[in-house]
Every structure is written in structure tokens, then in C-alpha cells.
A and B are shown apart, each in its own frame.
Chain A
């Protein structure tokens, strides 16, 4: 049974302060001066201490996936014949995030916890300590298409917050958080979800399409001429979960160092390279095709729901202005042509 409270901004800050004694607080924020250009900020997820730290006026450039799946993560340290698993920040964690991103983390859970015969221990140990504080999102942003991807709603949260500018409404679903908000005024239920985006797509059913012919379609040649394989779409995507192993030695002693995993992306050179020289998908358009099929077809065939959550970050960050929803729409037209519908 949920309760709803209304707090002033100051009162909410005091709650954050109290929560911060028990939990690591992560949320959308600015990283001043860390942008790609001189003097520019970048937005992503990191530790927050007060309401003023939260970046709420836009969509973050980077997704919250790095809260659970860091860009670089040490798996273990080696020293001669000793191998020691890496420690981690084991404080319980609260992440402030929007519904699409909660649904995105459900996709990460699917790969890291449920694909294969056993859960990924590095992901699992972080994930089991995380509680979500949903940031209510009623309008979305220009490039969002979460409604089309059925990722605009979520009930997987401990608390939900409506930031009203001069105060905060909070729905407390997880009773363990009720004491923190006891000082707030009782309020009516408020939580709403975005019901329509400026961008909408209809994901085509490709089950009756000749995939061999689809893969040869000229559309991918066009993407070859546009995509520069920078991989920004992969790194900004909340659901892209690929990684590569990387060994780092300290100084000249090869036997002293660490094994990490680092983010990898299917658009980036080297993703399929094997020793001996074989590789797959040399053309950037083929990589666009591979990613598109994974996000809106292959993942669903394996797990029952689409990988893409329609957050639109890939559109926001692409330096070549490649639009993923446009690609989905084009695939729909091609599929209708191929099946004569």
C-alpha cells in the first residue's frame, strides 16, 4: 500500500541528507567541464547530495547503466600466482531515474542475470543493493519514443518523485522508506506516465520477412555512407551491455596488474576481430543493421520483449544525425513491400 507525501524543497533536501547516511545516492547530474568541447558540461549519472544536484530539465547524454555496469570495471587483480577478485562499493544504493531507464535496466538484468547458465557476479552484487526512485516523466523530450516501445511505464520502484519546482511529491511504495518522509504532508495519489511522444514508431513484425533479402537491402549501403562507427549510440544506450576483457599490467612487471572489462559496441571497429584476421560486418551499414535487428527483433525472439526502450539517446548523440526511429520506420516500409501487405 503506497502513501503519498508533499515536501518543500528544503524538507526534501533534509530527507536526501538522511538517506545519504545509509545509501549511496545516484542520479542524473551535470559534470562541469567534462563535455566534448572546451568549457562544455556533459550529463550523466553520478553521486548526488541535494536536490540542486539533480539534472531534471533534460535527458542525460549518458544513461544510468554505468551505475550498475561501469565503463571500466576491474574483475580481479593478479600478482604472480595470486588472483584476488576486486572489491566494490557495497553500500546500498538509490538511483533516481525515469521509467524508460528502469525498463532499460530490466534489459541489462536479462543479459547479466538471466542469459547463460549463471548470473554475472559483478553485476549481481551491485544490482541486489539497488532501489529505484522513479522520476516522474509526463512529457518526455523531443527524441523520446518510449510509448511506442512500451517502456513509458514502470511499477518497479521503491519511491516515485514529482519535482514541481517549489516542492516535491513522493509516492512511497517501499514501506522501509516511510520513516524518511514522515515529516511530509499527506497528499493525494499523483503519479502519471507519459502517454504520447512527439516521435512514434511502429515496430515491424519481421517474422515473415526473408531476412537474407532484408540484410542485402540497399538501405544498409546508405547507412554505410553515413555512419562513422564512432559508437556513441552504443555508449549512450541504456540497454547496450557488450564488453571486452582488457588486461593492464602495472609498469614493466607483466605478472602484476588487473583484468578489467570495458564497454564494447557493435558499431566500433574490432568488435568481431579474431586472432588470425577473420572478422564480420566490416561495413558500417552492416553494423547499423546488426544493432537495429538486435534492438527490435533478435532480443525479442530470445527473451519475449524488445531491447530498445525508446529513450532516444542514440538520436541525441549521433554526430551524423542518424535517426533510429526513422530506421525502424524504414524497416517497416521495406517489410511491407517484401510481404506485399
Chain B
């Protein structure tokens, strides 16, 4: 019988510092994930943690990690050539076909950008699949902005609103919460789909804002974050009502997600 609990070694190819506390680790991996899926990352002796896959390509995948827990602190002392362990990929991610021929508005808060980064790159490479393509990317401060150089490149293919809650003296970009930018966003003609990913309060008020702007619940996709010990539908930590986030999520249609009550 297959043993899905056994992690496999993955070599670190590169480490990119995004902010003081968010680093991207590129792993040599044959996992071949889908958009928005996650894996269980582990360091034997420290433990295991669910991490969303921020980007991937042939033979590699990226994990954009914040150093906040036992496992992630252990990963942050590693360097290219070192080995981490992983199993997966897990979960139901984004289906790009769902957005074809429509306008797509993505709203992210902080590290919520990581789970959708691969999908952003996909649509920039297949720009004709979408009509309008807009990103409202929110961060707490200029020092918290992830993928800063790539965001500038994304402006060539998408309308990008990069906003911080509080700017500083050097900040020349937009400020304010993502919800303010949702309120002011000039929607394009035709059906619009929205994707919202971020911390729970940001998701709550962003989805409410989108509903108020006339986007239907069925046209909104969200991605949830929960404690998960197995990723396999066994450990019970991520269950909400009769739904297992690790199996049916982490990506949900908001028409279902809004009925999930913790």
C-alpha cells in the first residue's frame, strides 16, 4: 500500500529574499502541482507545515515562506544545495478554464499573493484567454511588498494597483486598504470573475466589497488557509462543517465558501 505520509527530499536550488521575513525557496522537484495547490513541507526533527506553492515550472517549484513557526524558522537557515522534505501536492486549486473569455480581477492581501502568483504568470503568458486582467495587490507597508520586481513586469500585461496600508517617505505608489480600491475600481464590460486571497478579515471585507459592486458570489473564488496536519482528509484540523479544506479546497467558489462557518 502506498504510504502518503513519507516525505521526499527536495534540494534547494535558490533562495530569494522578498522582504525581511518572506523568502522564496526554489526547490528541485518533480511534483508537477496545479495552480493554488499546497504541499506539506517538513524538516525531520522540527515538524511539518502546509505551505502553498507560489510558482512552478518543469522540474522546480517555489515556496514563498514567512519565518513565523518552528518549521519555517528551520528552513530559513538553509541555503542552496541543502535539502528539505515535502509530500504532495494537495488540494483543489484554481481552474484557469473557469476564467477564459472573461474579465479577471484578483485581489490579494500580503502573502495571499503567493498562492495566485503562478496563475498570474499563466494568464500573462496566455493573455488572450482573458479580456480585462486587473490585480489589486495590498501590503501593510512598502517593506512588506512581495515579488516587487515581477510586479513591475506584470504591469505590461495587466492593470496593477499596488497599494500599501501605510506608505513611507519614499513611497510614490498607491495607499489604502484593498477594499478602498475595490470600491473605486472601474469594471469593464462583460462578465467579471474575481479571486480573493489574504488574511481572514481582508477576505471577508473584500468579498463584501465585490458583492456590493455587483460581482455575484458565484463569480468570486477564494483560497482558505487552515491548520492541516495531513493534507489527506484524515487529521480533521481543517474541517469546516462537512467540508475538508485540504480535499475540497483550499480554493473554493465563494457561493460555497460563504456558507462555511467555523
Contact in complex: B199, A264 (CB < 8 Å): no
Docked CA distance A272–B236 (Å): 10
Contact in complex: B227, A121 (CB < 8 Å): no
Contact in complex: B229, A243 (CB < 8 Å): yes
Docked CA distance A211–B261 (Å): 8
Q: Contact partner of A243 among B85, B225, B233, B235, CB < 8 A?
A: B235
| CB contact under 8 A between A264 and B235, given known A116-B247, A246-B47, A275-B72 | yes
| CB contact under 8 A between A264 and B232, given known A121-B5, A254-B45, A275-B69 | no
Q: Contact partner of B66 among A122, A264, A276, A286, CB < 8 A?
A: A276
> Hey, which chain B residues are within 8 Å of A112, CB to CB?
234
In this complex, what residue of B is CB-closest to A83? B6
Q: Contact partner of B48 among A245, A257, A294, CB < 8 A?
A: A245
> Hey, which chain B residues are within 8 Å of A78, CB to CB?
44-45
Q: Is B200 an interface residue (CB 8 A)?
A: yes
Q: Contact partner of A115 among B9, B49, B244, CB < 8 A?
A: B244
> Hey, which chain A residues are within 8 Å of B155, CB to CB?
none
In this complex, what residue of B is CB-closest to A128? B1
Q: Is B239 an interface residue (CB 8 A)?
A: yes
Contact in complex: A281, B262 (CB < 8 Å): yes
Contact in complex: A81, B9 (CB < 8 Å): yes
| CB contact under 8 A between A242 and B1, given known A81-B83, A247-B44, A261-B229 | no
Docked CA distance A150–B235 (Å): 26
Contact in complex: B46, A76 (CB < 8 Å): no
| CB contact under 8 A between A264 and B241, given known A83-B7, A257-B44, A259-B44 | no
> Hey, which chain A residues are within 8 Å of B3, CB to CB?
85, 121
How many interface residues does chain A have, given as a range? 35 or more
Q: Contact partner of A302 among B237, B242, B246, CB < 8 A?
A: B242
Docked CA distance A160–B226 (Å): 44
CB under 8 Å from chain B, chain A span 200-229: 211-212, 215
Contact in complex: A120, B234 (CB < 8 Å): yes
Docked CA distance A271–B240 (Å): 13
Contact in complex: A116, B234 (CB < 8 Å): yes
CB under 8 Å from chain B, chain A span 103-149: 111-112, 115-122, 124-125
Docked CA distance A121–B232 (Å): 12
Contact in complex: A83, B44 (CB < 8 Å): yes
Contact in complex: A247, B5 (CB < 8 Å): no
| CB contact under 8 A between A299 and B44, given known A264-B235, A276-B66 | no
CB under 8 Å from chain B, chain A span 261-280: 261, 264, 266, 271-280
Contact in complex: A244, B229 (CB < 8 Å): yes
Contact in complex: A272, B242 (CB < 8 Å): no
Contact in complex: B45, A266 (CB < 8 Å): no
Q: Is A333 an interface residue (CB 8 A)?
A: no
> Hey, which chain B residues are within 8 Å of A117, CB to CB?
232-233, 247
Contact in complex: B234, A111 (CB < 8 Å): yes
Docked CA distance A115–B238 (Å): 13
- Closest Cβ–Cβ distance, residue B110 to chain A (whole Å): 10
Docked CA distance A275–B199 (Å): 12
Q: Interface digits, A43-83 against B, CB 8 Å rule (1 contact, 0 not)?
A: 00000000000000000000000000000000110100101
Q: Is A318 an interface residue (CB 8 A)?
A: no
Contact in complex: B226, A118 (CB < 8 Å): no
Q: Is A298 an interface residue (CB 8 A)?
A: yes
- Closest Cβ–Cβ distance, residue B197 to chain A (whole Å): 14
Which residue among B44, B71, B232, B237 has the maximum number of chain A CB atoms within 10 Å of its CB? B44
Q: Is B4 an interface residue (CB 8 A)?
A: yes
Q: Contact partner of B5 among A75, A211, A272, A278, CB < 8 A?
A: A75
Q: Is B2 an interface residue (CB 8 A)?
A: yes
CB under 8 Å from chain A, chain B span 19-68: 42, 44-49, 66, 68
Q: Is A255 an interface residue (CB 8 A)?
A: yes
In this complex, what residue of A is CB-closest to B47? A247
Docked CA distance A125–B5 (Å): 14
Q: Is A326 an interface residue (CB 8 A)?
A: no
| CB contact under 8 A between A116 and B232, given known A121-B1, A272-B227 | yes
> Hey, which chain B residues are within 8 Å of A8, CB to CB?
none
Contact in complex: B9, A298 (CB < 8 Å): no
Q: Contact partner of A274 among B6, B42, B227, CB < 8 A?
A: B227
Q: Contact partner of A118 among B2, B83, B235, CB < 8 A?
A: B2
- Closest Cβ–Cβ distance, residue B55 to chain A (whole Å): 21
Docked CA distance A149–B42 (Å): 41
Q: Is A249 an interface residue (CB 8 A)?
A: yes
Contact in complex: A122, B45 (CB < 8 Å): no
Contact in complex: A118, B232 (CB < 8 Å): yes
Docked CA distance A246–B70 (Å): 12
> Hey, which chain B residues are within 8 Å of A81, CB to CB?
9, 83
The 10 lowest CB-CB distance pairs between A and B, nearest first, are A116-B233, A275-B69, A242-B236, A254-B45, A78-B44, A302-B242, A280-B262, A301-B242, A298-B242, A115-B233
Q: A85-B6, A121-B4, A274-B227 are in contact. List 5 more A-B contacts (CB 8 A).
A: A111-B234, A115-B247, A121-B2, A245-B47, A302-B242
A-B contact pairs, 25 of them (CB 8 A): A75-B6, A81-B9, A83-B44, A85-B6, A111-B233, A116-B234, A116-B244, A117-B233, A118-B4, A119-B1, A121-B2, A121-B4, A242-B235, A243-B229, A243-B236, A247-B44, A259-B42, A259-B44, A261-B235, A264-B235, A271-B227, A272-B262, A277-B68, A280-B262, A299-B242
